[in-house]
C-alpha cells in the first residue's frame, strides 16, 4: 500500500512540475493564460487529495481509536505502556493509572502513557477505594520495610 502511495505521489509531483515549467505554447499563448494556470494548480490539488486519503485520514482514525481505548481502560485490564512495561491496572482516576507490574510493585502513570490494552478484564470492580490513600499506604509500607532491613543490616555489621 505504501509503495503504491509513494509511486502515485511521485507521479503527481512529476506531473505538477511538468505543468508548471514554461514550455512551448501555441500561437495564442498569451490569450489562453487562464487555462494554463488552472492546469498548473490542478496537480497540486490532486496531490493534496491523495495525501489526505492515504495519509491524513487513516492517521486521524487511528488517533480517534487510541483516544477511545484510553478512555475505556479500567481496573483489571492488562496493558502495555509506551515504555514497554506490561502490567495490570489496579486503579484508575481521571488522568492517572495505578499499574501493578509485579506482586506488590505498583507504578503510577498517566493515561497517555498507555500504548495498548493487551487483555480486558471481565469483572467490573468498584471504584470506591481512594486512589491516593492506597498508593501512600503502599509507599509507607515499603519505606518501613526498607528502614527495618537497613537497621537489621547495621546491627549485624556492628556485631561482627
Question: Hey, what long-range contacts does 103-112 have (CB within 8 A, 24 or more apart)?
Answer: 104/138, 106/135, 106/138, 108/135, 109/81, 111/70, 111/73, 112/70
Measured CA to CA, the distance from residue 99 to residue 87 in angstroms comes to 6
* 87 and 147 part of one domain: yes
* 48 and 86 part of one domain: no
What is the per-residue pLDDT across 25-35, written as a single tens digit (0 to 9) for each? 444 445 556 77
pTM of the full predicted structure? 0.53
What is the per-residue pLDDT across 74-109, written as a single tens digit (0 to 9) for each? 999 999 999 999 999 999 998 999 999 999 999 999
* Per-residue confidence band for 42, with pLDDT thresholds at 50, 70 and 90: very high
* 83 and 155 part of one domain: yes
**Full domain range(s) for residue 89:** 78-159
* Per-residue confidence band for 118, with pLDDT thresholds at 50, 70 and 90: very high
* 83 and 150 part of one domain: yes
Q: Which residues contact 81 (CB under 8 A, 6 or more apart)?
A: 87, 99, 109, 113, 114, 115
Among the ranges 3-12, 38-47, 118-127, 151-160, which has the highest mean pLDDT value? Answer: 38-47
What is the per-residue pLDDT across 2-27, written as a single tens digit (0 to 9) for each? 555 555 556 556 555 555 555 544 44
pLDDT at 113 over 70: yes
Contact indicator for 95, 71 with CB cutoff of 8 Å:
no
Measured CA to CA, the distance from residue 21 to residue 35 in angstroms comes to 14
Which CA distances in Å does 140 have to 22, 89, 135, 143, 145?
76, 21, 9, 5, 9
Amino acid at each position: 500500500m505504501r509503495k503504491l502511495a509513494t509511486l502515485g505521489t511521485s507521479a503527481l509531483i512529476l506531473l505538477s512540475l511538468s505543468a508548471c515549467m514554461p514550455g512551448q505554447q501555441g500561437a495564442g499563448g498569451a490569450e489562453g493564460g487562464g487555462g494554463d494556470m488552472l492546469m498548473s494548480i490542478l496537480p497540486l490539488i490532486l496531490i493534496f487529495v491523495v495525501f489526505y486519503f492515504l495519509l491524513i485520514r487513516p492517521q486521524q482514525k487511528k488517533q480517534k481509536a487510541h483516544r477511545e481505548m484510553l478512555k475505556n481502560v479500567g481496573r483489571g485490564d492488562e496493558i502495555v505502556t509506551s515504555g514497554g512495561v506490561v502490567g495490570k491496572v489496579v486503579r484508575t482516576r481521571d488522568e492517572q493509572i495505578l499499574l501493578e507490574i509485579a506482586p506488590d510493585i505498583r507504578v503510577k502513570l498517566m493515561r497517555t502513557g498507555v500504548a495498548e490494552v493487551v487483555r480486558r478484564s471481565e469483572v467490573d470492580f468498584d471504584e470506591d477505594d481512594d486512589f491516593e490513600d492506597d498508593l501512600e499506604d503502599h509507599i509507607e509500607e515499603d519505606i518501613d520495610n526498607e528502614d527495618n532491613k537497613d537497621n537489621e543490616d547495621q546491627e549485624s555489621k556492628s556485631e561482627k
